[in-house]
Amino acid sequence: MSKSASSNAGGQVRPKSGRPEVPMATAKNWLREMMLIREFELRCMQAYQDKKIGGFCHVYIGQEAVAVGTIAATEARDPIVTAYRDHGHALARGMSPNHCMAEMFGRVGGCAKGKGGSMHMFDRDNNLFGGHGIVGAQIPLGVGLAFATKYEDEVINAQKTGGKSNRVTLAFLGDGALNQGSVHEAMNLAGLFDLPVIIICENNGYSMGTSITRGTTMGHQISAKAEAYGMEGVEIDGMDVIETYWAMKELVEKVRATSRPIFVDMRCYRFKGHSMSDPRKYRTREEEERYEQGDPIGVLKAQLELRGLTEDDHKEIQREVRATVKSAIDWAEQSPFPPTSDLYRDVYREKWGPYTGSSDPEMLGGAENDCKFNAIDTTIDRKADLL
C-alpha cells in the first residue's frame, strides 16, 4: 500500500484577504468551543480504552474548526445533518456536554436515551437531525430537509405574507461518502428543484485507510463535481475557523436569498485514526506531523495572541473546559443504563407505539410475532470494531 500524502497539500483554497475582523469575544468563544470539543474527545478516547464507552467511536480531533466555523455561520433554526463523526457538530450546535457524554456512555440521560451512542447524536431542539452511520445516507435526508423548507415556504405557507422561513440546511459528508450513489441522486434533486442546502464535504483526505487520490476521481478538485448538478462548487480552508466562518457566512446568505444549492470542498485533516482501532499504517508520521503544525486550535490561538490573548487567558479556558468535561463524565456515570424493556421504544413515532415484543403490532400486519431478543450484552468485543 503506498503511503501517499493526501491531495489536500497544495490544494487551492479561497483567498484569505479582505475579510472583516471577528469581534474578540466571538473569536474567544470559538476558541473555547474548539477546546471543549478537543477535551471532550480526548476524555472519550480514555473512557473508551477503559471500556466505559462501547460500540463505535470516531473522533473529530483536527477538524474542530469545520463544525465551529460552519455552524457559527448559521441561525439556530437552520437544520443540520451529518455523519457518524458527529460529536463536534453536536457540541457546536449547543447540545449540553452532559447529554452528549451520557449518549457516549450509553445512558438514559443521553440525547438519544443512550440507545444511539457515538454515531447518533440527535438534538431536535437545536435542529440537529443526526449523526448517521451509513456512509452518505444523511445527504438524501439533508436534501429532504431542504425540500421541506421549500415546500412549506412555497406551497403550505404560500398565502401568508412574510411567512417564509428561508431556512438553509447544512448537510455534511466525508470525502469517502462522495462515491455513494444516493449522494448523487440527492445532489441531482437539489440542483433540479433549487433546494436551499449546502452540501459540505469534510475532505480530510481519507476514507478509512484509502486516500482520496486512490479512491475518487478528480480527487485534487472535488468541487468540480458540483457543476454536473448545476451547483456552485467552492473550496474552503477548514483548518482556519475564521476563514471557514466568513466563507460560509457568505454562502449561507447566498442560499437563503436564492434557494440554490452549493457544494463545498472543506479541506481538513483528522489527526487520529478513522476509529479507535485504527493503527494508521496507510499514512506516514511525517505527513501527520506536517498537518498537526496547522492545528486549528493552535492557528486560532496564534491569531488571537496577536490581538492580546495571553497565556493566562488560554489557561483559564483550558481549566474551564476541563471542568465542564469532567462534570459531564460524572453526570453521565450517574445516569442509569436504559432498561431492556425500552429496546423497541422510540422506533416508530406514535402510530405503532412502543413495540413490546409480545403484542400484535400493526407493522407486522397482525402476523404472529416471534421476535425474541436477549438482554443487551454489555461486554465489549474490541475485535468486532472493524468500522
Dig out the grid coordinates for 290 from the structure.
Answer: 506536517
Binding of Mg ion by 86 (CB under 5 A): no
Binding of Mg ion by 7 (CB under 5 A): no
Gap between the Cα atoms of 103 and 126, Å rounded: 16
Binding mask 319-358 for Mg ion (x = CB under 5 A): ----------------------------------------
Among ligand TPP, Mg ion, none, partner that 133 touches (CB below 5 to 8 angstroms by kind)? ligand TPP
Among ligand TPP, Mg ion, none, partner that 31 touches (CB below 5 to 8 angstroms by kind)? none
Among ligand TPP, Mg ion, none, partner that 301 touches (CB below 5 to 8 angstroms by kind)? none
| CA–centroid distance for 277 within its chain | 20
Residues 228-287 that bind ligand TPP (CB under 6 A): 274
- 348 with 342: CB under 8 angstroms? no
Residue with the CB atom nearest ligand TPP in the bound state: 174
175 vs 235 by CB, closer to ligand TPP: 175
Q: Measured from the CB of residue 349, what is the shortest distance to ligand TPP in angstroms?
A: 25
Binding mask 154-193 for Mg ion (x = CB under 5 A): --------------------xxx-----------------
Binding of ligand TPP by 62 (CB under 6 A): no
Binding of ligand TPP by 88 (CB under 6 A): no
Gap between the Cα atoms of 264 and 178, Å rounded: 12
Among Mg ion, ligand TPP, none, partner that 148 touches (CB below 5 to 8 angstroms by kind)? none
Binding of Mg ion by 62 (CB under 5 A): no
Binding of ligand TPP by 38 (CB under 6 A): no
Buried b (16+ CB within 10 A) or exposed e, 52-91: bbbbbbbbbbbbbbbbbbbbbbbeeebbbbbbbbbbbbbb
Residues 159-218 that bind ligand TPP (CB under 6 A): 174-177, 204, 206-208
Among 104, 135, 141, 198, binds ligand TPP (CB under 6 A): 135
Binding of ligand TPP by 103 (CB under 6 A): no
Residues 199-228 that bind Mg ion (CB under 5 A): 204, 206
54 vs 219 by CB, closer to ligand TPP: 219
Q: Which residues bind Mg ion (CB under 5 A)?
A: 174-176, 204, 206
Q: Which residues bind ligand TPP (CB under 6 A)?
A: 85, 133-135, 174-177, 204, 206-208, 274, 387
